[in-house]
A and B are shown apart, each in its own frame.
Chain A
Amino acid sequence: MSKRFLAAALIISASFSPALAAKTSLVIGMPIEPPGLDPTVAAPVAIREVTWANLYEGLVRIDQDGKVQPLLAKRWDISPDGLTYTFHLQSGVKFHDGSTFDSADVKFAFDRARAPTSTNAQKQIFAPIASVETPDPATVVIRLKETSGNFLYYLGWGDAVIVAPETAENNKASPVGTGPFKFKSWTRGDRVELVRNPDYWQTDKTKLETVTFRFINDPQAQVAALKAGDLDAFPNLSAPELFSELKKDARFTAVAGNTEGEIVAGMNNAKKPFDDARVRRALMHAVDRKALVEGAYSGYGQPIGSFFSPNHPAFVDMTAVIPYDPEKAKALLAEAGYGNGLSITIKAPQMAYASRSAELLAAMFAEVGVDLKIIPTEFPAKWIEEVFKNKDYDVTIVAHTEPLDIDIFARDNYYFNYKNDKFKALIAEAGKTTGENARFAKYAEAQKILAEDVPALFLFQLPKLGVWNAKLKGLWENSPVPANDVTDVSWTD
């Protein structure tokens, strides 16, 4: 073993030469290690944060502003009835294993995702598809059963990236895509290394030669690694309490942007007393969102009054609809028949933002005579079982991190047990509306309904606390989709 160490030491000293040209390596820190590297068969956000747009590409992509841009499809035509999408594919695209990308791969990827044996976490994206046809290698025609206003947008997600039939099976451990970077190695528990794809179809697009993702769970260690220069960037720092310190440090750029994660305290709307909108409103009135953000997330994070990401162009600020007002809360509770107090429980996952928010909610509710008992509930295992599946809870608290997921309040049998036919119809309409302005107007209306009806306590948007070397440019400030897209990242000197 010592021989190997010696050899390693020699190699390191040999390769140590002063770098005159701009640096071409990047080391990115992430709090959580992805379980596998295939975004088409599992849900975790961390998978997308390593692979999306770096290793794999879709027909289209989502850009920094949340807009749909062409990628593997250079353009597309949509039939007037909105049911037929014709994609014209880029030519000269190769997978990392050297095989050529063509329409057959698109058909394979989408048919695989919607097959009965599919384990795609967002299978509903593909639900409207009636057929995928390949008239020639450079054209794909997708026919839909019904119009879908967000269909193109969904195709930009990690769940809809194009994978090749020869390699799809092994993508979890050795991913093969068409992206600007190729997979090099994965040391479990520690790091994933990517190298530049020399055959990338957008020639000279990327400046970086190597990209390393390192997984550091502990907030103190994250900051220490940044300061020591072991990491060049931590796009999503998990320690808000340490963020201000880094903001003052001239070596770093520190930006607090938004993620797609709305932190909400969901209530069991089918259960007493939450079936009474007055009680739900009263609890919302009892919450001082600003103090909550201060205590739970050191003041970073935008308070929200409804369920929509500030990253999305259709966002409307609804925090004024039910503002902090303990007196009003008491009055509403008395009106609903709980003037003498109310005792309820909250199932809170172990994540710091959730357990801290739960403790603060308990303190705030106590001010209006509501006794909130905290039941720590292991996430994801127990939470999915008890809250999500069995709906055995009063109140709970999680961040919903999927982009554009307001429709969860319209889903039957979702854990909120919320039933509002008007809202449901509105969301269905919005989903089918292909005109952008008309669709956004419907989303605005939907946000207002939720803000007034409070099926869940809307607390704040989980911030994206990005920290990176001041000489780096091209990293995303917000994350309209979960991603660490490094395609355009470069060093300034």
Chain B
Amino acid sequence: MRLTPRLRLNPALLIGGILTAIFIGTALLSLVWTPEPPTRVRIAMRLKAPLEAGLLGTDHFGRDVASLLMAGAWNSLAIAWPAVLLGAAIGIAIGCAAAAWKGAADEIAMRVSDVVFAFPAVLSAIMIGALLGSGPTAAILAIAVFNIPVFARVTRGVALQIWTLDYIAAARSLGKPPLRITLEDVLPNIAGALIVQVTIQLALAILTEAGLSYLGLGVRPPNPSWGRMLSDAQTYLSQAPHLAIAPGLAIALSVLGLNLLGDGLRDAIDPTLRSRTEPV
């Protein structure tokens, strides 16, 4: 169950790894170089087709679509990454605590996560946006909130299994405090499963961020975001259909990459994990 030192390479891992590397690489590259400044407006060059101006054409302000996509990759990561980390940090803590102390604490944690699960995610994210004003903070918090119960449940599930192991029971009877058992024995043993979950949640977070920015929440303009590029593209659908293709492909490929990476990692770390962390 420990993270085996040698990962077995499988196709999912390979393809997922490559796609994810391209995604992250593009995002990082956009910080230092893009073909054109992504926010440069050129009214005279509005709605040009691909290759007519730039690799992927220009949008309704004459901005270079390829540059916008690259910068959009960074903005997408800049929301998804902190959101998942925040959700994971809180969720893992709750899950570990629930597994360690059980009883009332466990019951309360699980009921609260039921309540969060019960809220319609998109609607609640819109409400959080309305509450905090649209912008990166609101998007990060909205996504993080829904990651907490996911991590809490997954962590609790795998942690409970560790707690039933004989050597843990022995440590407990010797008076080792639950906190130390959690930190020294439980966490290292469940790290693999959690890393897999982080990858999958990252993919979901990128999808959610795209949905939110499609509805006008998320990073602020003129910072490009894939979701907003799609909502802009929709109004120019009959004049410039190419605008609706590239951002959607970018979202789909990034999410696909992370999902495959997650699947591949899971198989590589421990094939038996599959049944326990199958996403819902």
Q: Determine how close the nearest CB of chain A comes to the CB of B156; give it in whole angstroms.
A: 37
B189 at the interface (CB under 8 A from A): no
The interface residues of chain A lying within 8 Å CB-to-CB of B134 are 376-378
Knowing A350-B216, A362-B222, the reply to whether A376 touches B234 (Cβ < 8 A) is no
B120 at the interface (CB under 8 A from A): no
- A223 CA / B238 CA spacing, docked (Å): 10
Partner of A242, one of B41, B129, B130, B238: B238
Check B133 against A377 for contact (C-beta < 8 Å): yes
Check B61 against A359 for contact (C-beta < 8 Å): yes
Q: Would you call the interface of chain B mostly helix, strand, loop, or mixed?
A: loop
Check B237 against A359 for contact (C-beta < 8 Å): no
Q: Determine how close the nearest CB of chain A comes to the CB of B278; give it in whole angstroms.
A: 37
Check B130 against A381 for contact (C-beta < 8 Å): yes
Question: Digit string of A339-377 for contact with B (CB within 8 Å is 1, else 0)?
Answer: 000000000101010011011101100000000011111
Check A241 against B239 for contact (C-beta < 8 Å): yes
- A290 CA / B180 CA spacing, docked (Å): 68
Which A residues from 375 to 389 make CB contacts under 8 A with B?
375-378, 381-382
A219 at the interface (CB under 8 A from B): yes
Question: Digit string of B97-135 for contact with A (CB within 8 Å is 1, else 0)?
Answer: 000000000000000000000000000000001100111
Check B221 against A220 for contact (C-beta < 8 Å): no
- A277 CA / B166 CA spacing, docked (Å): 79
Count of A interface residues, CB-CB < 8 Å: 29
Knowing A359-B221, A360-B61, A378-B130, the reply to whether A295 touches B238 (Cβ < 8 A) is no
- A308 CA / B129 CA spacing, docked (Å): 35
Question: Digit string of B235-257 for contact with A (CB within 8 Å is 1, else 0)?
Answer: 11111000000000000000000
B220 at the interface (CB under 8 A from A): yes
Check A376 against B61 for contact (C-beta < 8 Å): no
Partner of B220, one of A291, A352, A375: A375
Check B235 against A355 for contact (C-beta < 8 Å): no
The interface residues of chain A lying within 8 Å CB-to-CB of B130 are 378, 381-382
Give the total number of A-B pairs whose CB atoms are below 8 A apart: 69
Question: Digit string of B28-42 for contact with A (CB within 8 Å is 1, else 0)?
Answer: 000000000001110
Q: Determine how close the nearest CB of chain B comes to the CB of A367; give it in whole angstroms.
A: 10
Check A295 against B216 for contact (C-beta < 8 Å): no
A81 at the interface (CB under 8 A from B): no
- A376 CA / B234 CA spacing, docked (Å): 20
Check B135 against A295 for contact (C-beta < 8 Å): no
The interface residues of chain A lying within 8 Å CB-to-CB of B238 are 220, 223, 242, 245
The interface residues of chain A lying within 8 Å CB-to-CB of B239 are 241-242, 245
The interface residues of chain A lying within 8 Å CB-to-CB of B62 are 295
- A374 CA / B60 CA spacing, docked (Å): 18
A146 at the interface (CB under 8 A from B): no
Which B residues from 200 to 242 make CB contacts under 8 A with A?
216, 220-222, 234-239
Partner of B222, one of A223, A239, A374, A382: A374
| B134 to A, closest residue via Cβ | A376
Question: Digit string of A385-409 for contact with B (CB within 8 Å is 1, else 0)?
Answer: 0000000000000000000000000
Partner of A241, one of B39, B60, B129: B60
- A228 CA / B234 CA spacing, docked (Å): 19
- A378 CA / B216 CA spacing, docked (Å): 9
The interface residues of chain B lying within 8 Å CB-to-CB of A348 are 221
Q: Determine how close the nearest CB of chain A comes to the CB of B241; give it in whole angstroms.
A: 11
Partner of A376, one of B41, B46, B220, B236: B220
A327 at the interface (CB under 8 A from B): no
Knowing A220-B235, A363-B39, A377-B133, the reply to whether A295 touches B222 (Cβ < 8 A) is no
Knowing A355-B221, A358-B221, the reply to whether A220 touches B237 (Cβ < 8 A) is yes
Q: Determine how close the nearest CB of chain A comes to the CB of B120; give it in whole angstroms.
A: 18
Check A363 against B40 for contact (C-beta < 8 Å): yes
B43 at the interface (CB under 8 A from A): yes
- A358 CA / B222 CA spacing, docked (Å): 9
A294 at the interface (CB under 8 A from B): yes
Check B43 against A241 for contact (C-beta < 8 Å): no
Known: A219-B235, A241-B235, A376-B135. 13 other contacts (CB 8 A): A220-B234, A220-B238, A241-B239, A245-B238, A295-B41, A350-B216, A356-B61, A362-B222, A363-B39, A373-B220, A375-B220, A376-B134, A376-B216
A residues with a Cβ closer than 8 A to B are: 218-220, 223, 239, 241-242, 245, 291, 294-295, 348, 350, 352, 355-356, 358-360, 362-363, 373-378, 381-382
A/B interface sample: 23 pairs, CB < 8 A? A218-B234, A220-B238, A223-B238, A241-B60, A241-B239, A242-B239, A294-B43, A294-B46, A295-B46, A295-B61, A350-B216, A352-B235, A356-B60, A356-B61, A359-B41, A360-B43, A362-B222, A374-B220, A374-B222, A375-B133, A376-B216, A378-B133, A382-B130
